[in-house]
Structure 1
């Protein structure tokens, strides 16, 4: 008597597809090489920024007669003498110096280091006892640093989401074109096939994000940028959380977009709208990273929240409850995208020939 064939459960089917996705990517030389190049670029960028900061020109600082002795013998300073504390502050406001050392402040130092929007971290570190810090501008975040951090979050989200999203769509089309999908869904449920693809590629994308975070941490530590590292810790953690759910949302839609066509040549027509959604946060932070209103709107739109909210957390513009509210909106959108994507995927997967129209895919 023939032994009965055991049909895998839904969870087992999902895991089988997940393993297949992970294995195919990890055995791909192109994926491994591109990942290595990405990590090298990130490390080079962090190291370059750190060493450039260490090799800055002499720091211009204003001192008063009472504080001049505190900076005697210090290297890397360009000292300007001011008659009193008010004149020293005026030099800072005018941009003639980066900081001013004026009388007054907590003991044992007894002086205060005055800056406009910030004070050079290298200057603070030169004092054996850290002085009190006073900022004259209301915005305490360096504009250039804000720009770089915003571009960093935007570029990472754009590159990872577009790369893996396009890979998912191409994989679905390839399976349709070669008729492999007919064999797959004869053994496992269609939704298990979709879930396995989404989970497998999400794990790969999150692996890259974690790798980038680890490399950035090492680079910042090696170059002595501990203050920047401390300020980026929370935003990076939130970015990883938002990226996880944001990518699941996009992955389900990319898989659905791939199922609507039967040839690789036609895939551009269905994934182009999704490509624009992925590109939008990147270009928005380039042009509006210093616009609180635009960043606030971005932080509550599911497709841009993985970029907008971490930037607002970094610059201190987000209240403690805002990331939680934004995450709740993201989760609701993620569930809706998965349901819609699954319906389109199921109704389009076995349709060959001309591109399936969206209305037909939703109606079944």
Structure 2
């Protein structure tokens, strides 16, 4: 059996096991429900446009309808408000120099009605292509959050899977059937497929929710370039970190020790997350972070969203990340091979790196 066939066999086994895991299925369902709720519920709770009562042939009817408000024609508009059949009424107060509208409401002024009747001043935007400040904050946060939680969650699961196989001595059977390196690559490949599928499902649900509420039209064209680049950056970044997590799992013999052994990798995941969040308004820092492999999966898509990156920059950053991922895969494989069959307690990183006992397997 060659390496490719062995990797395919291990990946298929990992996928079957994971897809039957109730914890994984429930977590995926939870994230999907959260994504749907976060896009749909705010629009539902916000309520629809106000219902406005006006008299027959009211001079304000057209302006109210143009603003998207629901207009009811009534002989006594005020009565509809008192009977709760309308949120507000607009009547003609009259004045010596023409008509003056008066808004009638029960307890609070309906802002959408007031805006429809107001004459806004002329506005000239000096930066018409600028992104909304809230969106400009949330997009970097979401890119960082998705990569942080996905790489951490699936990485820990890969480490726990390796440790569990050591703890149950199943690994001794597995290495007799397939090369040790194939076990590592197969687990990383399966984890990457599941992680990317989960992120894609969450993205689809979020986009569907935005389409339902009508918020997708203006935001999706802005997000599309960054999201298309986020996929290859996510895949390579996940491979880089998952390789190290698999090595962490091979270093220990008990599931309880995974957290302590994986502390260096956890810090490597957390640092870029907080750096991108806190330094997103610093162009120099973001430029540097977009070329650092640990932070590039989030920093470069954020710069592409903000329009701060030149056309050649994501290609250079992606090449650097690919080299780092290949290096992490080789380093992780060496540590993995040097510690997988050790059962005499926790193995140090240095000892696993030096051990070549399993190279011939």
Distance 2:6 2:338 in 1: 20
Output one character per residue of 1:311-353: Cα deviation in whole Å (capped at 9) or x when no partner: 1111111111111111011001011101101100011111112
Contact 1:50/1:220 (8 A) holds in 2: no
1:178 to 168, 177, 189: 168
Alignment partner, residue 150 of structure 2: 160
Is 1:256 the counterpart of 2:237 in the alignment? no
- Using the size of structure 2 for normalisation, the TM-score is 0.77
Alignment partner, residue 286 of structure 2: 295
Stretches of structure 1 lacking an aligned partner (at least 5 in a row) = 1-7, 58-70, 82-98, 102-112, 115-134
Distance 1:361 1:232 in 2: 43
Measured after TM superposition, the shift of residue 272 of structure 1 is 0.9
Alignment partner, residue 333 of structure 1: 324
Distance 1:238 1:211 in 2: 17
Is 1:204 the counterpart of 2:194 in the alignment? yes
- Using the size of structure 1 for normalisation, the TM-score is 0.76
2:39 to 46, 65, 79: 46
Distance 2:319 2:47 in 1: 41
Contact 2:158/2:242 (8 A) holds in 1: yes
CA 1:138–1:15 in structure 2 vs 1: closer, same or farther (change >3 Å)? same
Distance 2:248 2:157 in 1: 12
Measured after TM superposition, the shift of residue 196 of structure 1 is 0.7
Distance 1:288 1:56 in 2: 39
Measured after TM superposition, the shift of residue 294 of structure 1 is 2.2
2:206 to 193, 209, 216: 216
Is 1:32 the counterpart of 2:25 in the alignment? yes
CA 1:240–1:49 in structure 2 vs 1: closer, same or farther (change >3 Å)? farther
Output one character per residue of 1:167-223: Cα deviation in whole Å (capped at 9) or x when no partner: 000111111111111110011100111111111111000101111221122122222
Distance 1:44 1:227 in 2: 20
Contact 1:220/1:229 (8 A) holds in 2: no
2:7 to 8, 11, 14: 14
Distance 2:23 2:221 in 1: 35
Alignment partner, residue 106 of structure 1: none
2:262 partner SS: helix
Distance 1:342 1:50 in 2: 49
Distance 2:23 2:154 in 1: 13
State the aligned residue count: 297
Measured after TM superposition, the shift of residue 55 of structure 1 is 6.6
1:275 to 239, 250, 266: 266
Output one character per residue of 1:47-66: Cα deviation in whole Å (capped at 9) or x when no partner: 24556789799xxxxxxxxx
1:141 partner SS: coil
CA 1:100–1:156 in structure 2 vs 1: closer, same or farther (change >3 Å)? farther
Contact 2:276/2:295 (8 A) holds in 1: no
1:35 partner SS: helix
Contact 1:162/1:278 (8 A) holds in 2: yes
| 285-294 or 165-174: bigger deviation | 285-294
Measured after TM superposition, the shift of residue 33 of structure 1 is 0.7
Alignment partner, residue 316 of structure 1: 307
Contact 1:176/1:349 (8 A) holds in 2: yes
CA 1:141–1:164 in structure 2 vs 1: closer, same or farther (change >3 Å)? same
CA 1:51–1:277 in structure 2 vs 1: closer, same or farther (change >3 Å)? farther
Distance 1:80 1:318 in 2: 41
CA 1:360–1:331 in structure 2 vs 1: closer, same or farther (change >3 Å)? same
Distance 2:325 2:228 in 1: 19
Measured after TM superposition, the shift of residue 289 of structure 1 is 2.2
CA 1:267–1:335 in structure 2 vs 1: closer, same or farther (change >3 Å)? same
Distance 2:47 2:231 in 1: 29
Stretches of structure 2 lacking an aligned partner (at least 5 in a row) = 51-61, 68-111, 356-361
| 172-181 or 138-147: bigger deviation | 138-147
